[in-house]
Amino acid sequence: MGRDRSGCVARSALLTALALLLCCPVAGNTAEQESHTERGHSRWGNETGEPQPGFHIVSLRWEKVQAPYVIALWILVASLGQAVFHLSEKITSVVPESALLIMLGLILGGVVWAADHTASFTLTPTVFFFYLLPPIVLDAGYFMPNQQFFRNLGSILMYAIIGTIWNTVTTGLSLYGVFRTGIMGKDLNVGLMEFLLFGSVIAAVDTVAALTVFEDVHVNEALFIVVFGESLLNDGVTVVLYNVFDSFVAVGAGNIQGLDYFKGIVSFFVASLGGIAVGIIFGFLLSVVTRFTERVRVIEPGFVFVISYLSYLTAEMLSLSAVLAIAFCGICCQKYVKANLCEQSITTVRYAMKMLASGAETIIFMFLGISAVDTNIWTWNTAFILFTLVFISVYRVIGVVIQTWILNHYRVVRLEFIDQVVMSYGGLRGSMAFALVVLLDLKHIHEKRLFVSTTIIVVYFTIIFQGLTIKPLVKWLKVKRKQQKEPLLNEQLHGRAFDHIMSAVEDISGQIGHNYIQNKWTNFDRKYLSKMMVRKSAQISRDKILSVFRELNLKDAISYVSEGEWQGSLAFMRSISDVNVDFTGPRYTALDSSNSAVLCENASEVCLDMQATENRAKSPKDREEIVTHHMLQQHLYKPRQRYKINYSRHKLVRSEDEKQDKEIFQRTMKMRLEHFKPTKLEVNHNATIRNTKKEKATIKKHSDVVPNKRTPTHSHALHKDKDSEVKDHCDPSDDGISFLITPEINESEETITGNIPCLFFTEEDQLVCQIIPLWTSDEGTIILSQKVNLQVPGNPNNFRHSSESIDSFLLADISKEDPLSESSV
Amino acid sequence: MGSYSSHLAKIEDLHGMIQETGFTKAHICRLYDRFADLDKSETGKLSREDFQRIGELAVNPLGDRIINAFFPDEKQSIDFRSFVRILACFRPTVKDNHADPNAPEPINSRSNKLRFAFQLYDQDRDGVISRDELIQVLRMMLEAQVTKDQLESITDRTIQEADLDGDGAISFEEFRKSLENINLEHKMSIRFLQ
């Protein structure tokens, strides 16, 4: 393993070096050209000199391919760099991606500079704003957990808008104040407006970058969504503020009248809200379009990207906030797109989006590194730089503390001290700041170079220093605050039980106070929007989702139990191969309970107990105690509050709780089934069932439909016969579900058949009733039809992916609801 | 939010409820909204199916037990008053030093919260959590990959730790004692039920 690793590293390093070497002649060639990333240049027609006389079989036509070649090469180098980093897990858990990339950029910049002594490759604003930023924002919008986002919207808006404005204004004014005291030197040609403009540039925070190191240290779930939402929205706010101040500067500080200030404020709101409106319109447009793309599945993913990109460009054209437009396009369309598109397209979209976002960010940071090497842009003013660093940190902290204090009065889930530390310390400045500062107009801003160099230094400092130290800092704080006493087994156990109780009671008591808006929205959505935007087929199945879902899973539960009984014990067994349902049974493994086995599992989990347990004496009793503690720690189901939302630009993360949900769900359904009393069964049906139970070979199918006003009962049994298709015609009468019973092979008395409560479909459409068994073995397993599987997934999470529906259960998004979060201030 | 007046009329003995549970009028109305929301068959009572329809409970390890806790004494349906009474248990406790020592214990006292949890474990209502009952609960709360032996060993150790009188089972007093360090008021309270 070690040798392999080093071999891999060596190879990759070699490849990278090769790529770098290739860049040098490239650098040499383009020394005199503009940035290669200007795609406007077309080199197809140009040739450097006259074609040499005579016919050449093979010739080197560098100029023809130069531009696209170089672009491709850069992308390749960026990707190789990422690949090299990820070879070592230790590095990625300590250092945030942005830090790694920025250092890669520095190295490359050094190489280019050494080869060339100029910075041939710079990040032009055009490329940044038109090609690199949209994928990143779209990715954030598309993967945004909508439920939590809207529930925390108040906090998010407050941090994004008020926080950014606060940062901008305070930084700008303070710098201006310092300037006036003369510490920065008398030869700076800047006024108040320029400082405010600089403030807006440097205020944009990218906190998500810092959170990627927190995968194993438990961060408050509410914190994550607030930070995520904040970093998404504040990009938009920053750009708007920037434009406002930029136009002020262009007009000239002396010429600004009161009316202009007012106009500035109004334009802020207009640009933001207008951008959001454009985004929403395009989001709905996209949803409607995907409704009709059933026949063109191959190009379905393309629609998502193209229409989202159009929303960005449209908003840009109308001088509205393009960032907000594309973000909200992603937010609005996710639900309908996921309902409409086929599974493969959804996967394609997800991966492509991550690829673009990750790639774009990589390229940005690389260029950031390379641009830093350009000596032309360097202007050094110690006081300015120092004060900037101080002010942004201090004001960020102050801003966060004040806002959190205000918000905690309204929030149910408070943001604790440690969350505030994470938010303020994790406020890294990123690529946005750099792109904006380079965009400054030199004619109006005379000290552009100073701003640029300061920005570069700030970005480097925050990303490298703060990014590297945030995790140790948080760990240190957490450990300090954690109780030194090892919790008793009882406390651990019962404490966890209490957590579960509390989540259940929260669910039962509902979102008191906030349910109203949510219900209104879901009703509206169901009645009007979904009818417009979700495919007919998805709609139909969605309407039946709950009932059929329950039915299917209960069937699975039945089959589980019956299978277990048939096998002679209730040992859970994997039955994936036999049952064509997405349904992994928990495996019965004989884990040995030795120390090493237990402690080796889930090695990535940070067990902050470790230091406490290490101090204990290693007597056998204590060792056993440790084992038990760890076992409880690792194997207790997590309560809902502890579920983490996980977002990373560079990774697609599937949450762990899916497995947990499945297990619990299956178990619950099985138990419910066993406990149901046969209150609704008619006696004669019972008798008939028991009769058929005796027949081992075949089991007669009942389709006794009793369409009367009482609660009629259906009992269906499936043929064991391979060739017959069983169609269950469901009676469209009162509420309920019909259960399907597995054929009882043995004559075990504990049949579920006697205990089936029968509930029914309300809907008239019968397509969900078609269960076509495909018997591949003699075991009493049920295999569901492909059709049913496609439309109605067999486990809670697939189900959520494919559609959303109205019931509170079904409202849960991919990531879990947190009912304690505030919906709106 | 919502029209309280129309609901108020439907709630019987509103004042009695307020006295007993300590909820405010607004809260009770909101709980009534929720009750009505859950009561799909509009019978004015909630049955087990209504609770089971709440999907999150299906993925809660103790979900079914908690549902059962709402249906004491083998009843099959509960009315609004019982619903509120049970939920009142989870109101945050307020330290009231001037409380009349002779007054009945408030519903949301620490003791009642503990009792709620205790009853989840103690299914046969004999006043102690036996080894089997604890194994059952642990089975529910632990991941499926934990083996039977591990389960039993955890159970034994847990009982050992809490059992003070050596009877091999955990009585309510022992239960209470083992949890005296936990901040129960914080853990077993829903703030928005205040």
Give A767-790 pLDDT, tens digit per residue.
333 333 333 333 333 333 343 344
Do residues B50 and B36 touch, judged by C-beta distance below 8 A? no
Residue of chain A minimizing CA distance to B189: A502
| Sequence-separated contacts (24+) of A519-527 with Cβ below 8 Å | A519/B37, A522/A806, A522/A811, A523/A806, A526/A805, A526/A806
A637 neighbourhood in chain B, CB within 8 Å: 61, 141-143
What percent of chain A clears pLDDT 90, i.e. is strictly above it? 8
CA of A808 to nearest chain B CA: how many angstroms apart? Answer: 6
Name the residue facing B59 among A508, A625, A665 (closest C-beta): A665
Residues of chain A contacting B60 with CB distance shorter than 8 Å: 500, 503-504, 507, 640, 664
Q: Which pLDDT value is given to residue A282?
A: 94
Among the partner residues A488, A498, A513, nearest to B188 by beta-carbon distance: A498
Task: State the pLDDT at residue B192.
Answer: 60
Of B55, B61, B143, the CB nearest to A808: B55
**Closest chain A residue to B51 measured between Cα atoms?**
A508
Task: Tell me how far apart the alpha carbons of residues A498 and B116 are, in angstroms, rounded to a whole number.
Answer: 10
Chain A, chain B: beta-carbon pairs less than 8 Å apart: 192
Instruction: State the smallest CA–CA distance between residue A773 and chain B in angstroms.
Output: 27
CB nearest to B63's CB, from A489, A632, A668: A668
Residue A669 near chain B (CB below 8 Å): yes
Q: How confident is the model at residue B112 (pLDDT cuts 50, 70, 90)?
A: confident
Compare A39 and A94 and report the one with higher pLDDT.
A94
* Inter-chain CB proximity A637 and B61 less than 8 Å: yes
User: Contact at 8 Å (CB) between A749 and A674?
Assistant: no
- Give chain B positions within 8 Å (CB) of A660: 59, 143
Per-residue pLDDT tens over the stretch A309-343 = 999 999 999 989 899 999 999 998 888 888 888 88
* A494 interaction partners in chain B (CB closer than 8 Å): 117, 175, 178-179, 182
Site from B82, B143, B183 to mutate, A interface, most A CB atoms within 10 angstroms: B143
User: In this predicted model, what pLDDT tens digit does every residue of A538-589 receive, in sequence order?
Assistant: 666 555 544 555 555 556 666 656 665 555 444 444 333 333 333 333 333 3
Tell me which residues of chain A, numbers 488 to 547, contact chain B at a CB-CB cutoff of 8 Å.
Answer: 488-491, 493-510, 512-513, 515-516, 519, 546
**Whole-number Å distance between alpha carbons of A119 and A105:** 12
Residue of B nearest to A639 (CA): B60
pLDDT digits (tens, 9 = 90+) for A601-660: 333 333 333 333 444 444 566 666 667 777 776 777 776 654 455 666 677 765 556 677
Cβ neighbours of residue B168 under 8 Å, at least 6 residues apart? Answer: B130, B131, B159
Q: Which residues of B touch A569 (CB under 8 A)?
A: none
**Stated pTM of the model:** 0.62
Is A100's pLDDT higher than 60? yes
CA angle A730, A732, A733 (to 5 degrees): 120
pLDDT band at A700 (very low <50, low <70, confident <90, very high): very low
User: Which residues of chain B make contact with A669, given a CB cutoff of 8 A?
Assistant: 58
Contact residues, chain B, for A488 at CB < 8 Å = 161, 178, 181
The answer for residues whose C-beta is within 8 angstroms of residue A653's C-beta and 6 or more apart is A646, A647
Report the relative pairing of strands B128-129 and B170-171 from DSSP bridges.
antiparallel
Report CB contact under 8 Å: B57, A504. Answer: yes
Distance from CA of A545 to the nearest CA of B (A): 12
Strands (E), B77-134: 77-78, 128-129
A735 touches chain B (CB under 8 A): yes
Q: Which of B149, B154, B161 sits opposite A488 (nearest CB)?
A: B161
Residues of B whose CB is below 8 A from A501: 62, 66, 116-117, 120, 188
pLDDT tens for each residue of A204-260: 887 666 666 665 556 666 788 888 888 888 888 888 888 888 888 877 766 667 787
For residue B58, give the chain A residue with the closest CA.
Answer: A665
A622 touches chain B (CB under 8 A): no
pLDDT score at B136 = 86
Residues of A in contact with B182 (CB under 8 A): 491, 494-495, 498
Contacts of A558 (CB under 8 A, 6+ apart): A670, A673, A739, A740, A741, A742, A752
- Residue A288 near residue A535 (C-beta atoms within 8 A): no
Distances (CA, A) of B74 to A131, A151, B123: 65, 38, 12
Residues in chain B with CB shorter than 8 Å from the CB of A515 are 33-34, 37
Which is nearest to A356 in space by CA: A314, A400, A398, A305? Answer: A305
A587: closest CA of chain B, how far (Å): 7
Cβ <8 Å between A501 and B66: yes
Q: Who wins on pLDDT, A537 or B146? A: B146
Q: Which residue of B has its CA nearest to A515?
A: B34
* Helix, strand, coil % in chain A, rounded to nearest 5: 65, 0, 35
Residue of A nearest to B115 (CA): A498
Most distant pair of Cα atoms in chain A: their distance: 102
> Is the pLDDT at A290 greater than 70, yes or no?
yes
Query: For the residues B179-189, what does the mean pLDDT come to?
Result: 73
Cβ of residue A410 closer than 8 Å to a chain B Cβ:
no
Give me the pLDDT at residue A42, please: 37
Inform me whether the C-beta atom of residue A814 falls under 8 Å from chain B C-beta atoms: no
Contact A809 B55 (CB under 8 A): yes
Provide the CB-side half-sphere exposure for A316 (13 A, CA).
13
Distance from CA of B129 to the nearest CA of A (A): 13
pLDDT at A553: 54
- Cβ <8 Å between A796 and B31: no
- Residues B56-67 have pLDDT tens digits of 777 788 888 888
The residue of A411, A416, A493, A674 whose CB has the most chain B CBs within 10 angstroms, and thus the best one to mutate to test that interface, is A493
Lowest-confidence region among A133-147, B70-84, B93-107 = B93-107
Of A512, A572, A631, nearest to B192 by CB-CB distance is A512
Average pLDDT of the residues of chain A = 66
Of A713, A493, A719, A765, the closest CA to residue B170 belongs to: A493
Position A281 scores a pLDDT of 93
Contact B179 A624 (CB under 8 A): no
Instruction: For A441-478, give the DSSP string.
Output: -TTT-TTHHHHHHHHHHHHHIIIIIIHHHHHHHHHHHH
Model confidence at B7, in pLDDT bands (50, 70, 90)?
low
Q: Is the CB of residue A594 less than 8 Å from the CB of residue B149?
A: no
Residue ranges of A 325-364 with Cβ closer than 8 A to chain B = none
* CB within 8 Å: B55 and A671: no
Q: Backbone phi, then psi, for A12, in 5-degree steps?
A: -65, -40
B55 vs chain A: nearest CA distance in angstroms?
4
Is B37–A515 a contact, with Cβ atoms under 8 angstroms apart? yes
Chain B residues close to A817, C-beta within 8 Å: 56
pLDDT above 90 (res A689): no
| Contact flag B57-A500 (C-beta cutoff 8 Å) | no
Determine which of B39, B50, B56, B120 to mutate to test the interface with A (most A C-beta atoms within 10 Å).
Answer: B56
- Asked if A490 lies within 8 A of B53 by C-beta distance, the reply is no
- Whole-number pLDDT of residue A306: 94
Q: Please name the member of A505, A661, A820 whose beta carbon is closest to the beta carbon of B59.
A: A661
Q: Is pLDDT larger for residue A183 or for residue A697? A: A183
A601 at B interface, C-beta within 8 A: no
